[in-house]
Each structure stands twice: as structure tokens, then as C-alpha cells.
Amino acid sequence: MAMTDVLSAEDIKKAVGAFSAAESFNYKKFFEMVGLKKKSPEDVKKVFHILDKDRSGFIEEEELKFVLKGFTPEGRDLSDKETKALLAAGDKDGDGKIGAD
């Protein structure tokens, strides 16, 4: 499954472009721009599984660094600071990874 099976290619392009500058990534704005906030829980889980490159059922810090590339190959890598902020926002139980729920 490709990201464009769930989200609009145009929305992805705009969102990734909006955060192309280093240290500019804002996960709340990004997820809103790509249209995830309007998607069903099932569609959000589909996106999660696309981003879970190692199919572990979790998105770990190393996978988060490349989250923008998970949406489009033209995406940049997140900085360590951006990666840690995204992990902190999604890691509800403090285990260092983000689960699908």
C-alpha cells in the first residue's frame, strides 16, 4: 500500500514542502496539512503501518527520523531535536516507541 492510497498526493506535497527547512517540522500542523485529522481511525492505522518500516507494530525513534520520506521520497530527514519531539508526543507509555493505538 502506498501513502497516496490513503492521502492526497497534492496534500502530501504541500505539507512536506511546508517543512522543508531544517528545524521547521511541526507534527500537529503537518498531520493536519496531509489530511490525517479528517481520516478515520482505520485510515490512520494504514498510514501508521506504512511508516512502520520494520513491521514491528511500533514506530521507533530511528523510523521517526525518516517520517517525511515515508510520505514522499522527496522528504527530508528530521533533525534529532525534531525526532525526539515527535517521539515524546506519540510515546504515551514512555517505552521509547509509538504504538498503533
Residues of the binding site = 52, 54, 56, 58, 63, 91, 93, 95, 97
Q: Cα–Cα–Cα angle for 96, 13, 2, nearest 5°?
A: 65
Specify binding-site residues for Ca(2+): 52, 54, 56, 58, 63, 91, 93, 95, 97
CA distances from 45 to 3, 15, 74, 79, 101 (A): 12, 19, 23, 25, 8
How many whole angstroms separate alpha carbon 73 and alpha carbon 28?
21
